[in-house]
Chain A
């Protein structure tokens, strides 16, 4: 049943996602061409106004692709809201499927389309790079190598445990940001009968603001245990020190904690506090 639910969720989004992706790839190609025209124009000391058109076209393409990713998120979350908290909930919650599975399917759908957006953005970057002068690509690769080279050089410090902790923290935080949106939509739907979605958006802004503030406070607190003078040293020294202070582990636990909290709060609302009109 979980797979069937997921199938219908994916089916409802794929057409829009595909259309948006194809448009994005086209826009990326135009943006890349615009950027190439701009760079070539500068290199040739051209005073043609078209080089600025190329530059602004490039800037526009970045905004357009960001907007395209945002559109997919809007479609996915609006489906989450409509299927669960509007009249469509009368169908969703009278299916012979447990509410755990219904919620899990929605969350998996959100994750799948978020991964899709990352892939889509990656393809857009590849399209950009196709148009870029070789010198620009080389300098990008050099910057990347400069940042990671010290870590790869002393791999023993950046050990397996730290990689796992960092990866888990990253995944947990990414999932948390998705589950937080779902939780706010559910809270908005639970608290009022009219303007459910508006309240959900307001709650998201308030809670995400509070979470960011809490993150800052956490960094300040962590600084009590962590000597930031190591930041001036090599990255591996920073990592070694962070591990020594157990900060990676604490951050991982906190990230997983907030992820489970948001997921189960949403589940609780779906289980007990459905507010269908």
Chain B
């Protein structure tokens, strides 16, 4: 039905997934099967799909948290390894910092390990969010912790940003600020991949979108603005339509 919307995959780019297959246990169907994706640099990409379709699994494969059963991931032409973590900035969908650390200690930690981390950007963002640098993470609310995580991740000048459900845990009022933060703080040559099911909230910032099926296949993809014009619908409406059919 939407075959005409599928774009030809670029042959090279900041991210390339080749024939990725991943299953969590033997005998169970793979979460991703022969998954291929190629993304150019400088784009904001929405990886959209229902729960359990493999969005987070794909992110974990890209940063090397999971090992694929077959296939490979390349970042700027280099096979994914701990070295590529030096230019991939990843925000998981959970709180993942040591709660006993202070926010200022986190800034020091990121400065120590990531050469592309800019502490002044982090401090500026924290100030605008009214987050005290001397607070311990365990004293912060869940939403504030998530904001701190986003600040840390977006204060890097990475080539690829992977944001797994960045707005799911924050209140609607803060979502706009977060999206603005993502857009204004990213390296302009970098690609940002955002996974979410809150399409309505993020579709305004997306350059491209990918709808993922339940077996990790790409059901539909395209340029966000062109698709909206062509279809006369928002991505949110299109998403509901695609997954109603699916």
Contacts and interface: CB of A to CB of B under 8 A. Distances in A.
Nearest to B95: A87
B229 interface: no
A1 B66 CA distance: 22
A87 B96 contact: yes
Contacts of A98: 82
Given A87-B95, A96-B85, A12 B67 contact: no
Contacts of A82: 98
A99 B92 contact: no
Nearest to A277: B94
A8 B108 CA distance: 11
A251 B90 CA distance: 48
Query: Which residue, B63, B65, B82, B95, has most C-beta atoms of chain A within 10 A?
Result: B82
A151 to B, nearest CB: 48
Interface in B46-71: 60, 63-67
B91 to A, nearest CB: 9
A276 B57 CA distance: 11
A82 B97 CA distance: 10
Contact of A274 (B66, B83, B88, B96): B66
Contacts of A272: 67
A93 B59 CA distance: 13
Interface string A8-27: 10001000000000000000
Nearest to B60: A276
B65 A91 contact: no
Contacts of A276: 60, 65
Query: Which residue, B65, B90, B94, B96, has most C-beta atoms of chain A within 10 A?
Result: B96
A1 B113 contact: yes
A8 B66 contact: no
Contacts of B60: 276
Given A8-B109, A97-B113, A91 B85 contact: no
Contact of A95 (B66, B67, B82): B82
A94 B95 contact: no
Interface in B67-118: 67, 82-83, 85-86, 88, 90, 92, 94-98, 100, 109, 112-114
Interface in A88-137: 88-91, 93-99
A207 B14 CA distance: 47
Contacts of A89: 65, 96
Nearest to A1: B113
A88 B96 contact: yes
A189 to B, nearest CB: 14
B157 to A, nearest CB: 14
A4 B94 contact: no
Nearest to A92: B96
Nearest to B114: A96
Given A1-B113, A8-B109, A98-B82, A93 B65 contact: yes
Interface in A163-204: none
A91 B97 contact: yes
A94 B97 CA distance: 12
Given A88-B97, A94-B88, A96-B113, 7 more contacts: A82-B98, A87-B94, A87-B96, A90-B96, A91-B96, A96-B114, A98-B82
24 contacts: A4-B113, A12-B98, A12-B100, A82-B98, A87-B92, A88-B96, A88-B97, A88-B98, A90-B96, A91-B96, A91-B98, A93-B64, A94-B63, A94-B85, A94-B90, A95-B85, A95-B113, A96-B83, A96-B86, A97-B82, A97-B113, A98-B82, A99-B82, A276-B60
Interface of A: 1, 4, 8, 12, 82-83, 87-91, 93-99, 272, 274, 276
**Which 10 pairs show the lowest CB-CB distances between chains A and B?**
A96-B86, A90-B96, A96-B85, A90-B92, A87-B96, A98-B82, A94-B63, A95-B113, A94-B90, A87-B94
